[in-house]
Amino acid sequence: MASAAAYIRLQHFYALLEAKRNPNLRQQPFVVIDGSRIIDVSPEAAKFHITTAMSIRQARLTCPTLQVVEAEADPLPAAERFWDTCASFSPLVEPEGHSSAFVGLSVQGNLKAAGERLMRRLALKLAVPFYLSIAPNKLTAKIAYLEAADLPLSVSGEKHLTWNQGRGQSSAPLKLNDKEKPAVNSRCLIIFPESVEDFLAPLSVNRLWLWPDKVHQQLQNLGIYTIGQLRQVPRLELERLFGETGKALYDAARGIDPAPVKGLYPPKAVQGYFQLPPETDGCRTWDALVKYLLPVLEHCTQELQRLSQACTRLRLWVEYENLEGKCWDKQLKNELQTADQLLLSVKGLLDQDWPAPITGMRLMLMGLKPAALGQLTLASYLKPQRQRKLEQLLPSLQARFGADRVFTASELSIPRRERMLQLLPGFGDYPIPVLGR
């Protein structure tokens, strides 16, 4: 087996979301803006060569009938469906944005065949056009995407490309049946491990997306314009010029990226559920429901407290008798950590009349963040328990308030006054009046 990284990016994601929300936009050239910046263009606007790099004025000049739409649709539900699709291929899914993700692949046999299989499955599962690039690591996979995205549209039937050597050499279209063909303009680009260096050599150093433009500019000021030229620079020289970044640039020029694809999706969550047996009547009243719901909530809150976390997002699935289930997804204003708080939130969601008796419920506590627990709750514990509890809590408190603000007494190795002088700049600059000699 060999590991590979796939980079998948949906095209026109925000534009299609807005078109779904407002059907009048379908088949129209329009751009989606966030403030004064274009964040996406519709497929029809893309035909006019309008890109996200343009200003609104430039875009309007290019296409006089262009509509400008403020981004209003919530992208998260659609993004989660996309990430769920990715998660069905691999447990290693690292979302990059709402419309893009890295997927860690474990490839058995031929990489090209694996790429074709992945392309087919994606084409069946995703309703929107997408880019897929596969390479030995994340760095090369995203560079491959950037290259594929810059390619001019080719004629129909030649839009699904695989590259196995260098830029445009030995490219061959993937063979897909008509049924399996993805939406127009979906593209696949595979960089084989043995051809990574050849692929990267002619590309501009601007393609090294892991580093900011400032580094690209510095490289160009030194006369290094392509990744191939960067490869010629000795390691020590790069280290002298760029420090730690120089070491990473040396590796990147050879297509080496040690960062693995992390399994960040689905995010960590605490879950609990109940489901009544088929022969049991469903819950018709809130009191009847609480009998089943309360143990679930207590289990969830115990788990939250064990992890020293609080939840900021609540997802609730409810199953009704002989009816389709319903799902709520709520971003919470306040952090929740106790069963009472959760019960109130669930009651708030189920406030309306129920269409049928409830037969099951699944609760997912998401958006976990370190909980802010008061010091007073610790005071009631006996000393060893308190210390153990404090050791458990300390990392989360430091994550929340900063390690320089939360520390234990044993870390105080300097006298209190000196520490105060360090913490409060300006304090101690003035002579302290001495009273009563």
- In the complex with another protein, the residue whose CB is nearer, 110 or 169, is 110
Q: How far is the CB of 114 from another protein (least distance, A)?
A: 7
We find the least distance from the C-beta atom of residue 49 to another protein, in angstroms, to be 36
- Residue 277 CB, shortest distance to another protein, in Å, is 4
* Pairwise CA distance, residues 107 & 112, whole Å: 10
Identify which of residues 228 and 266 has a Cβ nearer to another protein in the complex. Answer: 266
Residues that bind another protein (CB under 8 A): 1-3, 88-92, 104-108, 114, 117-118, 121, 263, 277-278
Decide whether 272 or 370 has the Cβ nearer to another protein: 272
State the minimum distance, in angstroms, from the CB of residue 2 to another protein: 6
Instruction: Find the shortest distance in angstroms from Cβ 364 to another protein.
Output: 12
* Lookup: tokens for 404: 């320089």
DSSP 2-67: EEEEEEEEETTHHHHHHHHH-GGGTTS-EEEEETTEEEEE-HHHHTTT--TTS-HHHHHHH-TT-E
Beta carbon nearer to another protein, 13 or 265: 265
Distance (Å, rounded) from C-alpha 273 to C-alpha 276? 10
CB 316 within 8 A of CB 362: yes
State in angstroms the smallest separation of the CB of 118 from another protein: 6
In the bound state with another protein, the residue whose beta carbon lies nearer, of 223 and 277, is 277
* Beta-bridge mates of residue 10: 130
> Which residue, 103 or 143, has its beta carbon nearer to another protein?
103
End-to-end CA distance of the chain: 82
The phi, psi pair for 382, rounded to 5°, reads -70, 160
Maximal C-alpha separation, the chain: 98
Q: Which is nearer to another protein, 14 or 265 (CB)?
A: 265
Q: What is the DSSP letter of 430?
A: S
* Burial zone of 424 (CB within 10 Å; 0-12 exposed, 13-18 middle, 19+ buried): exposed
Taking the complex as a whole, the smallest distance from the CB of residue 357 to another protein amounts, in Å, to 17
